[in-house]
Structures are given as C-alpha cells and as structure tokens.
C-alpha cells in the first residue's frame, strides 16, 4: 500500500511538471496551435507515399552510422605501415585513410557492421530519392503549387549523388582511387579553367595531397548540413502545401482525405522506420559490400579490372566508354570532347531538364491552376513516354559502364558490344517512348470499353440461333469514379500563321502532348460533376482548359 501511494505521488508530480513545462512553452510559442494543426493533418493512405519516408529513414541510418565511423576514420594520405589484423596486407605501406578503414573493418568492435550498414544505407537513400522523384514525375505532383518543392527535391538528389561519391572516395583503396582519377580527368576536360580547378581541388598534380581531407569535410559537414536543412524545408513545404492524393470517391482537388497524423500515421511511420533500420542492419551483417582489403591500397599507376563506381554514377562511366575519341585545340586550349560531353555536358543537361520541366509543361499546357489530385500515368501518355525513355537511356548507359564484365562473362567482343550500346543509346529511348505512348492510349481505350460495355463476368450463354456471347456487368461506383474523374488539358488552339513564333511553337507542343487522346463516355451531369471535383481550389477552375 505504501509503495502504491509513493508511486501515485511520483506520477502526479511528473504530470504536474510536464503540464507546467507545457504551459511555460505555450505562453512563449504557439505550441498548442501548431501541435493541434499538425496532429490533425491528414495523410493519404497509399503505399506510393511511403517512398519518401524510406529515403528519410535511410538518411537517419546514414547519420547514425556515419557519426560512429567518424570517431575512427583518419582522412590523411600520409603513409604508415599497416600492422593490423588482416594478414595479407600486414607490413605494407598504406595511407592513414586506408589504414584506419582496415582498422575499422577488423579491429573495432562492430566497425565492419557499421561500415557496411553505412554503405548499404547510402545506396538505399539514393535509390529511394530517385524512385520518389519518379513517382512525383509520373503522377504530376510537381505541378503548381509544388514547383519549388520539386526544385528542392532535385537539389536533394544532386547533393545525395555528391555525398555518395565523396564517401565512396574516402578509403583510398584501388577502386576509389581509380574513381578519383576519372574525376580528375573530368575536371581537366573543362575548357580554359579545368586545369586550374583540378590543381586547386587536388592541391597540385594528381594524386595531390589535399582532396581527401577536403572530401572528408564535405562528406561529414557541409553536404550533410545542406541535406538536413533541405529535408527540413521539404517536409515543412509538404505539410504546408498538403499532400496530393489519388482520385477516389470523396477525394477532390479541394480536400485531403486520409489518416490523421496521430495515432494512425505515427504508428505506421514508426513501423516503417523500424523495418528500414532492421533491413539495413541485416544487409550490413550478411551482404558484403566494398571489401577494400581485396582491392588493396591505391597506387596511381595501377588499376584493376571490373572497376565500376556505385550504381548511381554508373551512367557516367557508361557514357565515357561509349563516347568516341576526339579533341580540338582552339587558341591553345584543348577541348576533350570524349570526356567533356559525356561527363560534364550530359549530367549538366540532366539537371537542367529536371529543374526546368515543371515550367516547361506548365507553358505547354497553359495551365495556371493548382493541382492536388494525382495523374494516372496512362492518362498522360507523352509525359509517361518521356519518363520511360529517360529510364531506358539511363539503363543503357549503366549497362555500358560494365561492358568489359559483360563481354568477359558472355564471351563477346568488347568493341562489338560498345557499338551495340551506342545504337541502343539512341534507338532504345525512341522505341521506349513510342511503345509506352501506345500502351497508355491502349489502356485508356480499354477503360472506355469498360465504361461503355461493362466488365466481363465470365458467364457464357448460347442464344437460340446457336451464337455464343458473354454477359457483362456495370463497373462499381468507386472504379467508375477513378476512370472518369481525371484532369487532362485540351490542346491549345493554333493561333494562326501570323501569330508570334513563341505562340505557334507552344500550340504545336500542346497538340503533341494532348492531341491524341481517348475521351471517356460521360453524360452532361457527369461532366459537370467532374469539373467540380477537379476545379481549382483557389479560383474555382479558371485558368486552364480540361476534359
């Protein structure tokens, strides 16, 4: 009895202390107002919206494991004699960076697990960000009012690539050193200023003495700080701008229907975070990755076969291998086209397209309204075709980055394989675009038939003259709603031959985007209902022409 009373008094004091702390904070900041709004926020219940959370939780694993590794890693390139536990390398002169990485792997308790978890988390983080961006692109979630948040996401993707390359290059093993040698050649290929930039970054001629420590500072301080800041901005904008959602009964362009943040979404998100942590821990424990002791320390005049970077920059390796040799000398400056075009111009063009695409599509569409309903990819065949073409282009370049390995495994000619990849680099995306566009239109046509004829029941009957036919039944209201409530702009009218060139180009591009379409059979009442559900939440639908 006495213990129960003491326990009750302690609990009462704790509750009173917590309440007083809350009152103090609430009097000085809008805690109640913000907490109430945040806890009432609705989150759409669909698996595709969890891709961004996978990226967030893998980044959390990166921060935690990276903090552990920072305690033991030394980025110095000063030479020391290795005296650790790994016998085959004992007594060899290596850099402190390589030595400390070996010490982490073999002599620090849990060090190898942390190293491998960190590397796997980096791969999952970049993959999750990339797949999340593809979800945003294919569903049109980058449109107004989310153009700025799309730019923040593209910047996060760019920083993730930079962070991954910096971390991959730190151990000073033969594989990462080969990657840095390639990076040095890429910097040198920049006309006029390339030699100055390379000399400054490496602290002298390659391999230099300064880059490793500068990459270390970038990897553990500057880039993570920018990532954390931009992730915070990205999440704040998601909360402020509300979530997009799929078209379903009750979901319109003016509301958000979903689970409240607490307790449903918090419980689901917590479970997902534990799954991400657990999967990465298992992968770090049983799946070997980046065994630097097999590669050996970096020696500038040596390179190993099967030397490819991590997958997210593998497309640059493939582009370098496919580009024919060629260089110009203009006014004493060398233009190394075989390096400049695939390794500088190509990635620059990639990110220019990513940053500018929302503006380009808005201009082509003439669309000025806000969009909170997700597009189904099949309803935007041109956009979907362009996205699939880009994925195929990336896949061809990634495969080309391992042409030597493919040739060795399948006993093929490296030269012949290179020419095959060169042809596929141009023909593959075009074929992918055409096929994807036709498939999207065919799916729309199939849905039109479903709306007109109903769905097959599987019951076959025979009429009196002996003919065979199959019965159909109408679609359920939820599926009919999903097929009908969609927001597809009409192509802009051609302004005439006397119009400015800009307007004529805009009309032609609009006709290319939305000219070939499959309209769904609707009544006047249904069209009115569709217009109301897809109307602009700000201006009531003014600003664009829709189906």
Whether 398 and 318 have beta carbons less than 8 Å apart is answered as yes
- For 356, residues 6+ apart whose C-beta sits below 8 A from its C-beta are none
Mean pLDDT of 188-212: 86
Confidence of residue 545 (pLDDT cuts 50, 70, 90): very low
Half-sphere exposure of 300 (CA within 13 A, CB side): 8
Measured CA to CA, the distance from residue 154 to residue 521 in angstroms comes to 39
How confident is the model at residue 544, as a pLDDT? 46
**Choice between 458 and 443, residue whose per-residue pLDDT is larger:** 443
Judged by DSSP in three states, 114 sits in: helix
Per residue in 44-55, pLDDT (tens digit) is 888 888 899 999
pLDDT tens-place string over residues 457-505:
778 877 777 777 777 788 888 888 888 888 888 898 888 888 899 999 9
Per-residue three-class SS string for 118-168: HHHHHHHHHHHHHHHHHHHHHCCCCCCCCHHHHHHHHHHHHHHHHHHHHHH
Percent of the chain with pLDDT over 90: 52
Q: Count of CB atoms within 10 A of residue 343's CB?
A: 24
Residue 543: band (very low, low, confident or very high) from pLDDT cuts 50, 70, 90: very low
pTM over 0.85: yes
Q: What is the pLDDT of residues 333-382, one digit of tens each?
A: 778 888 999 999 999 999 999 999 999 999 998 888 889 999 999 999 99
* Percent over 70 (pLDDT), the chain: 93
């Amino acid at each position: 009895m006495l213990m129960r009373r003491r326990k009750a008094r302690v609990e009462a004091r704790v509750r009173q202390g917590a309440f007083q702390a809350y009152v103090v904070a609430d009097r000085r900041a809008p805690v109640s107002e913000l907490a109430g709004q945040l806890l009432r926020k609705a989150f759409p219940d669909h698996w595709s919206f969890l891709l961004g959370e996978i990226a967030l939780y893998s980044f959390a694993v990166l921060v935690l494991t990276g903090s552990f590794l920072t305690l033991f890693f030394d980025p110095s390139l000063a030479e020391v004699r290795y005296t650790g536990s790994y016998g085959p390398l004992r007594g060899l002169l290596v850099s402190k960076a390589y030595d400390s990485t070996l010490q982490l792997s073999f002599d620090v308790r849990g060090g190898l697990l942390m190293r491998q978890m960190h590397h796997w988390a980096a791969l999952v983080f970049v993959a999750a960000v990339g797949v999340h961006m593809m979800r945003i692109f294919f569903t049109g979630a980058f449109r107004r009012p989310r153009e700025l948040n799309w730019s923040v996401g593209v910047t996060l993707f760019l920083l993730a690539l930079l962070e991954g390359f910096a971390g991959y290059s730190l151990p000073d093993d033969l594989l990462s050193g080969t990657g840095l040698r390639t990076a040095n050649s890429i910097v040198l290929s920049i006309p006029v200023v390339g030699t100055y930039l390379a000399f400054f970054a490496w602290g002298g001629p390659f391999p230099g003495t300064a880059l490793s420590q500068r990459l270390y500072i970038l990897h553990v301080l500057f880039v993570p700080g920018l990532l954390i800041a931009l992730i915070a901005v990205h999440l704040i904008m998601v909360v402020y701008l509300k979530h997009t959602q799929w078209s379903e009964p009750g979901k319109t362009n003016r509301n958000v229907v979903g689970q409240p943040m607490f307790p449903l979404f918090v419980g689901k998100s917590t479970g997902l975070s534990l799954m991400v942590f657990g999967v990465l821990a298992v992968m770090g424990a049983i799946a070997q990755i980046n065994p630097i002791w097999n590669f050996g320390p970096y020696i500038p005049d040596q390179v190993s076969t099967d030397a490819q970077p991590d997958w997210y920059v593998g497309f640059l390796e493939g582009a370098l291998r496919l580009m024919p040799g060629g260089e110009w000398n203009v006014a004493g400056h060398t233009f190394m086209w075989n390096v400049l075009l695939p390794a500088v111009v190509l990635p620059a063009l990639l990110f220019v397209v990513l940053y500018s695409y929302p503006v380009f599509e808005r201009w082509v569409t003439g669309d000025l309204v806000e969009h909170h309903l997700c597009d189904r990819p099949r309803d935007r065949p041109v956009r979907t075709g362009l996205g699939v073409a880009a994925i195929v282009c990336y896949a061809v370049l990634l495969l080309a980055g391992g042409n030597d390995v493919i040739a060795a495994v399948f006993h093929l000619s490296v030269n012949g394989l290179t020419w095959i990849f060169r042809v596929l680099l141009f023909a593959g995306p075009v074929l992918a675009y055409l096929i994807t566009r036709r498939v999207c239109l065919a799916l729309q046509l199939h849905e039109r038939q479903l709306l007109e004829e109903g769905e097959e029941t599987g019951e076959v009957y025979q009429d009196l003259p002996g003919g065979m036919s199959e019965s159909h039944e109408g679609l359920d209201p939820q599926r009919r709603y999903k097929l009908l409530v969609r927001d597809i702009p009409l192509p802009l009218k051609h302004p005439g031959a006397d119009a400015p060139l800009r307007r004529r180009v805009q009309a032609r591009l609009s006709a290319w985007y939305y000219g070939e379409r499959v309209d769904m059979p609707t009544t006047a009442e249904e069209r009115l209902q569709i217009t109301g559900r897809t109307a602009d939440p700000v201006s009531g639908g003014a600003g664009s022409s829709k189906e």
